[in-house]
């Protein structure tokens, strides 16, 4: 009977390993470069690229025996941390600190963008 119990335990361990492998594959998709470095936003001649921090955690566990139990859980978060501002040779990283306003950071670049649109409209 011990051999049979060990066999079923091995099967369950393999199932957990397959589950973990699938989970890691999905996490790789979540944390791909497009998530961390967002799609560029074109505003006139300026380009703004959002930069985010991705955090992922998970756990798996199981018990083979009387009253067999398995459990898994996980979570992920994406937090914007900065903007990369590119306008010609002017390249700036604009960090978003927890004590500063995202709106304030965006408002810092609005005058440049409006100015570029105004010049373009006047030239047309």
Does the predicted TM-score (pTM) go above 0.75?
Answer: no
12 compared with 94, residue with greater pLDDT: 94
For residue 89, what pLDDT is reported? 92
pLDDT in tens, 42-56: 888 999 988 888 877
At 124, the pLDDT band (50, 70, 90 cuts) reads: low
- Boundaries of domain holding 91: 2-123
Asked whether residue 38 carries a pLDDT value surpassing 60, the answer given is yes
Q: Which tokens belong to 55? A: 């955090």
As a whole number, the mean pLDDT across the chain is 71
For residue 87, what pLDDT is reported? 92
Instruction: Give yes or no for a contact between 104 and 93, defined as CB atoms under 8 angstroms apart.
Output: no
HEC profile of the chain: CHHHHHHHHHHHHHHHHHHHHHHHHHHHHHCCHHHHECCCEEECCEEEEEEEEEEEEEEEEEECCCCCEEEEEEEEEEEEEEEEEEECCEEEEEECCCCCCHHHHHHHHHHHHHHHHHHHHHHC
For residue 86, what pLDDT is reported? 92
Instruction: Give yes or no for a contact between 24 and 32, defined as CB atoms under 8 angstroms apart.
Output: no
pLDDT in tens, 60-109: 776 666 776 777 777 777 788 888 999 999 999 988 876 556 556 666 67
Asked whether residue 12 carries a pLDDT value surpassing 80, the answer given is no
How many structural domains comprise the chain? Answer: 1
> In what order do the strands lie in the sheet containing 46-63?
41-43, 46-63, 69-87, 90-95
């Amino acid at each position: 009977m011990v051999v049979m119990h060990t066999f079923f335990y091995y099967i369950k361990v393999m199932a957990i390993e397959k589950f973990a492998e699938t989970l890691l594959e999905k996490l790789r998709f979540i944390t791909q470069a497009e998530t961390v470095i967002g799609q560029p936003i074109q505003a006139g001649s300026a380009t703004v690229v959002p930069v985010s921090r991705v955090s992922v955690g998970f756990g798996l566990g199981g018990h083979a025996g009387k009253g067999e139990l398995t459990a898994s859980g996980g979570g992920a978060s994406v937090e914007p941390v900065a903007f990369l501002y590119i306008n010609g040779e002017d390249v700036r990283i604009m960090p978003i600190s927890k004590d500063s306003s995202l709106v304030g950071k965006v408002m810092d670049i609005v005058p440049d963008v409006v100015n570029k649109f105004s010049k373009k409209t006047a030239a047309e």
